[in-house]
Amino acid sequence: MTIQTAVRVSSLIAALSLCGCQTLKGIFTSTADNPNVTYGEDAESNIAKGNDALDSKNYAEAQKYFDYVKSKYPYLEAAKVAELRLADTDFERDRFGEARDRYLTFVKIHPTHPRLDYAAFRAALAYYKDIPSDFFLLPPSEEKEQVNVRNTLTAMKDFIRTYPDSTHQAEAKTVLDDVKKRLAEHEWYVAGFYAKRDKWPAVINRLNIIARDFPDIGLDDKVQFALYDAYMELKDEAKAKDALRVLVRKNPESDGAKKAARMLGPQG
């Protein structure tokens, strides 16, 4: 066991002690796996009971009510409501993969439903919620695998394009901006990894990905100056100067552009 691993294990044990948890099983095992439910006389009353249970975080109970409505009243609108609420129940339980499957199934089998955009948005959001956190025992997010971040990027782009009038557009764009920033920071981290090993072509490749795919998120100046340095390491002064000219053209009044102009000199 490495020193770093030992420290993480010790920290976990200390954290469990502080929260009063006797076992890991106690953290992850639900106390409501076998709820006692009393079904109502119609679909609407059972939907209401399920909603109350979900609001109270009685997830297993909520699922029973919604499953009951879905199976007993399959031809009523309430059954479709129950399908969405089952997806919401999984989502609230942090079962994001299961929730996403339910939302996508809803989109597929109810293509004209008035809440179609909600289901599509939540399916995309499930990817976002499933992104690993920066919990103190784990490495920073820019060092981790970016599968769910990239999935979120694709799903949110599809949602924004497909449902331009949705009330969820603003939130979708906020999420999209965040995942773009995360992916750009990951590329920046990888570029730094290669720079420490003098792998300058690889550095340039990663920096160009940021410049091409993630402009206007606050990294433009850093990326172009880093490209200048990388090209200079390769003795390619012409491309190094081109990197500076990008800043001057894009926003000539910015501090970065003024610095780039000074570096280029009077000949530009």
Two tokens, residue 26: 């106690």
Q: What angle do CA 241, 247, 248 make, to 5 degrees?
A: 85
pLDDT reported for residue 38: 92
Residues 6+ apart with CB under 8 A from 236: none
Residue 36 to residue 39: CA distance in whole angstroms: 10
pLDDT in tens, 94-109: 999 999 999 999 999 9
**For 26-40, 43-57, 211-225, which range has the lowest pLDDT when averaged over its residues?**
26-40
pLDDT reported for residue 103: 98
Two tokens, residue 32: 């409501």
Two tokens, residue 153: 């990027």
The torsion region of residue 80 among left (phi > 0), alpha (psi -120 to 50) and beta comes to alpha
Q: At 5, is the pLDDT very low, low, confident or very high (cuts 50, 70, 90)?
A: very low
In CATH, what number does 184-264 get? 1.25.40.10
The model carries a pTM of 0.77
Among 90, 94, 41, 93, CA closest to 68: 41
pLDDT in tens, 137-180: 445 555 556 788 999 999 999 999 999 999 999 999 999 999 99
Identical fold for domains 41-181 and 184-264, yes or no, is: yes
**Helices 169-195 and 147-162: crossing angle, nearest 10°?**
150
Cα distances (Å, whole numbers) of residue 144 to 70, 99, 151, 192: 40, 24, 14, 15
**Helices 77-92 and 43-55: crossing angle, nearest 10°?**
10
Domain residue limits, the chain:
41-181, 184-264
Class of domain 41-181: mainly alpha
